Amino acid sequence: MSWLELVASGLGIAAVWLTVRQNPWCWPIGLVMVLLYAWLFFDWQLYSSLLLQVLFAGLQLYGWWQWTRGGERRDGRTVSQLDALGLAAGLAMGAGGALLLGYLMATHTDASAPWLDATLTAFSLVAQLWMAQKRLQCWALWVVVDLCYVAFFLHGGLYLTAALYAAFTLLAISGWLSWRRAPALALD
């Protein structure tokens, strides 16, 4: 465990806690966290996770814009649900991304766990995109992804990061319960 991992973990907890409360400051705090984790994943040779953090940096900016200026009236998004087609399309994009990224990482890098890392990366991107758009289903997908990350990081001996993802799992359950009670929860 390094001081950098400790700081990144603390920022991660703060960012997700703010997300559950629909506070737009979750996005700039999350941006700092993902940049720190990008550095850590480079050191750990988890290149799909490194790529994920770089993409998350862009999604942090997108989410901040969506939550503060998105929506029909340009005053921020409200919580909504994906319809069946939107849900299936997002999951299909995650599966396709996992296959493509897994193949690239397995054949062109010395990644330590190319297929599992790529799969978690692809579905994390889907969950993060849904979160930026304030889709309720982001939380259910985060629960599944975070639980897989807990096992993945425990297996790799990255105990603090595993604990962080366990906390993320609990926060994702809290997010699901909180956002589910949002006023005027619409189906998009």
What does the pLDDT read at residue 53? 92
Kindly state the DSSP code that residue 45 receives in the 8-state scheme: T
Of 34, 64, 33, 28, residue with least CA distance to 51: 34
Mean pLDDT for 91-105 is 96
By CB atoms closer than 10 A (0-12, 13-18, 19+), residue 124 is buried
Q: What is the pTM of this model?
A: 0.87
Of 185, 172, 180, 176, residue with least CA distance to 13: 172
What is the percentage of the chain residues whose pLDDT exceeds 90? 72
Mean pLDDT for 147-165 is 91
Mean pLDDT for 76-96 is 94
d(CA 176, CA 67): 17
What does the pLDDT read at residue 185? 63
What does the pLDDT read at residue 57? 95
Cβ–Cβ < 8 Å for 103, 128: no
What does the pLDDT read at residue 77? 85
